[in-house]
Amino acid sequence: MSCPADRSFCELVVALSTILDTEEETKLYHAWRVALVARELAQQVLPEQATRVFYAGLLHDIGAMGLDDHIVHQVLRPGARLNPEIIAHPARGAAMVAPLPGLGEEAAAMIRDHHERWDGSGYPRGLQGGAIVPGALLLGLADIFDLTVRTHPDRPWSQVRQAMTETAAGTFPPELLTSFNAIMAGPLYPEVATNVALELKMFQIILDLPPVNFQVAEPMKITIDLFARIIDAKHAYTAGHSRRVASYAMKLACGMGWNEAAVQRLEIAALLHDFGKIAVPRAILDKPGRLDDRELKVVHQHPQRTIDLLNSISSLKDIAQIAGLHHERYDGGGYPYGLHDGDIPPGARIIAVADAFDAMTSPRPYQPTRTPQEALAVLARGSGTQFDPQVVAVAGSVLT
C-alpha cells in the first residue's frame, strides 16, 4: 500500500490526465487506457520501470493539449503526420514532465520517444531499434491499442488484434508483440476495453501503486507549482496567470490577518483555481468577440470541473470549494451555483478579487489591458455586488 504522499501525487497526476482527456461533456479515457495497458506490459518485460511507465502513460500526450481538437481525433485523420503541432507534441510534453519529482528525465524520455518506431518509421526523430527508450515502445504500443479499440468498439480481442496487425507489425520488436498478445489474451482485455471496467481498474491501481522515490523535500508543492504552469500553458495569454493570482491572493489574505497555515492552503487553491479550464477548447478562450450560448456554457463548466478534480485528491479536498467558487458573486449572480456572500468561502472571495485583478492587468484578447490603478477602480465599483467589500478594501492597499 502506498503512503499518503504517494497516493496524493498519483491522484493529482490522474486528475490532470482526466481533464486533459475531457472533451466538453465527454471523458475520452485515452491516457488512462494507455497508462494501464503499458504498465501491465511493463510488469512483464520491464518490471523495474513499471511505475514510471504508468505515470508517463498518464501524461504522454500532455504536449498536445493546445491543439484545436483532441489528439485522438487528429491522429486518425489523413495527413496527420504533416501537422507540425502533432510532430512537436512528444518533445513538448517531455519538457513539461521533466521537472516532476521522482519521475523526471526517465519518464520524460519515454514521452519524448513514444511515437518512435522500431523500424525507424516513427517521429519526431526517426529513431531505430535500441536508440529508442524501451518504455517508450510500451507507450507506443498501448497508444495504438487505444486508437484501435476506439475504431473497433465492442469487438473481441481477436478482432482488435487483427486490426492492430496492420499498424503495429514490423514497427515493434516481435518479442514485445508476443508479450502483448499474451497479456491481452488473458484477463487484461476485458479490464481495459470498456470505460466502466477501466475506471474500476484505475481506482485499484491508485490504491496499490508502489511508492515513488521523490528525492525532494516537498514533492506535492513542486508538483502543484508545475501543474499551475501546465494549466496556464494551454493558452498563450494566460502564461503566469495562476502564479500571479496566488501571489495576489496571499497578499490579500495576509492583509486581512490570516495565519500562515491558512495562507499556504489558499496559495495552493489559487494555483489550481483554473484546473478545470484545461478542458475548455482554445478556440473558445482565445475568441476575441462575444461568446455564444454554447460557448458560455462550456466556460461556465470549468469551476465545477475544478471542484470535482480536487475532490478526487485526498489531500486537496479541503480546498476544492475555495478554488472552484471564484466565479461566484457577492450578490448571488455568479456561477456555478449562484451563491450569496455568506455562502461563498472566504478564500474563494479572495481568489475572485485576485483573479479579476490579474485578468484586468494582463493582456487578454477580449478586453483592453488596464493599469493597476484602473483595475482597482473597477474592483471598487464592484464592491458589494461582484466582490466582497472587505477584500476590495484591502486590495486598495496591497495590490498597488
Tell me whether residue 381 is in a domain: yes
Mean predicted lDDT score pLDDT of the chain: 91
325 and 278 within one domain: yes
Q: Is residue 213 part of a domain?
A: no
Domain boundary among 208, 241, 260: 208
Per the model's pLDDT, the better-predicted residue between 281 and 16 turns out to be 16
Pair 278, 354 in one domain? yes
Q: Which of 178, 208, 238 marks a domain boundary?
A: 208
Q: Are 224 and 275 in contact (CB under 8 A)?
A: no
79 exposure class (CB count in 10 Å sphere: 0-12, 13-18, 19+): exposed
346 located within any domain: yes
Cα 343 to Cα 170: distance, rounded to the nearest angstrom: 61
Supply the pLDDT for residue 233: 82
Q: How far is it, in rounded angstroms, from Cα 228 to Cα 189?
A: 35
The arithmetic mean of pLDDT across residues 1-14, rounded, is 75
In a domain, 214, yes or no: no
Q: 2 versus 200: which is more confidently predicted?
A: 200
User: 151 and 242 in one domain?
Assistant: no
- Residue 34 in domain: yes
Task: Look at strands 22-23 and 26-27 and give their pairing.
Answer: antiparallel
Residue type, 142: A
What average pLDDT score do residues 284-297 get?
A: 82
257: region left, alpha or beta (phi > 0 left; psi from -120 to 50 alpha): left
In degrees and rounded to multiples of 5, residue 223 shows phi and psi of -65, -45
Looking from the CA of 70 toward its CB, the CA atoms found within 13 Å total 20
Asked if the structure places residue 271 within a domain, the reply is yes
pLDDT in tens, 91-106: 999 999 999 888 878 9
In whole angstroms, give the CA distance from residue 364 to residue 29: 32
Same domain for 224 and 181, yes or no, is no
| Residues spanned by the domain of 169 | 4-208
Q: For the domain that residue 321 is a member of, what is the CATH number?
A: 1.10.3210.10
Give strand ranges (E) for 258-352. Answer: none
Same domain, 244 and 141: no
Mean pLDDT, to the nearest integer, of 370-383?
96
Q: Do both 129 and 267 map to the same domain?
A: no
* Number of structural domains the chain divides into: 2
Give Cα 132 to chain centroid, integer Å.
26
Whole-structure pTM value: 0.90
Percent of the chain with pLDDT over 90: 70
pLDDT band for position 387 (cuts 50, 70, 90): very high
Give 1's pLDDT tier (boundaries 50, 70, 90).
Answer: very low
Same domain, 240 and 186: no
**pLDDT by residue (tens digit) across 197-207?**
999 999 888 88
User: Distance of CA 227 to CAs 181, 240, 308, Å?
Assistant: 36, 12, 16
Q: What is the mean pLDDT of residues 188-205?
A: 93
Q: Are residues 348 and 311 in the same domain?
A: yes
Residue range 217-272, pLDDT digits in tens = 678 888 899 899 888 887 666 678 999 999 999 999 999 999 999 999 999 999 99
Per-residue pLDDT of 78-135, as tens digits, reads 888 888 989 999 999 999 999 988 887 899 999 999 999 999 999 999 999 999 999 9
